[in-house]
Structure 1
Amino acid sequence: MRKVTQAEQEKIWEDVRKEFPNDEMMQEIHFIRQVHYLQTKDLSIEERLCFFERSIQKTSV
């Protein structure tokens, strides 16, 4: 999994704020979606599944 740079994160925030100007929740959802895409786009299917399984375990209530 690769690291997303600060510049990439700033660009993503800029884009999602333009796309959803009055909806902070949608901005956050789409920010995370884009970050996860960049982190996993070069992974195999198995590696991608492991990534998302770990994410689910971290966020379980």
Structure 2
Amino acid sequence: MRKMTQAEQDKIWKDVQKEFPNDEMMQEIHFIRQVHYLQTKDLSMEERLRFLESSKNQETLC
């Protein structure tokens, strides 16, 4: 799993705010979805499942 840079996080926020301008909940959901995708896109299915399982009790993985 790779760490996200602040610049990457800022770009994702900007994109989701543009996509969902009046819906904070959807912004949050899609922000985390994009972060998780970028963090796990190079992992095997088994590694990805372990990552998602371990993230259940964490507030953020950025």
Same fold (TM over 0.5): yes
Quote the sequence identity (%). 81
Q: Number of aligned pairs?
A: 58
Q: Tell me which amino acid in the other structure corresponds to 1:20.
A: F
Report whether the alignment pairs 1:47 with 2:57: no
In structure 2, list runs of 5 or more residues that go unmatched. Answer: none
In structure 1, list runs of 5 or more residues that go unmatched. Answer: none
* CA positional deviation for 1:47: 0.3
* Structure 1 segments (4+ residues) deviating >4 Å: none
Q: Residues 18-57 of structure 1 correspond to what in structure 2 (within 5 A)? A: 18-56=18-56
- C-alpha distance in 1 between matches for 2:53 and 2:24: 26
* CA positional deviation for 1:46: 0.5
CA RMSD of aligned residues (A): 0.8
- When normalised by structure 2's length, the TM-score is 0.90
* CA positional deviation for 1:55: 1.1
Cα deviation, 1:3-59, whole Å, max 9, x if unaligned, reads 011000000000000000000000000000000001000001100000001112x15
Which of these two proteins has the greater Rg computed from alpha carbons? 1
Structure having the larger proportion of residues in helix? 1
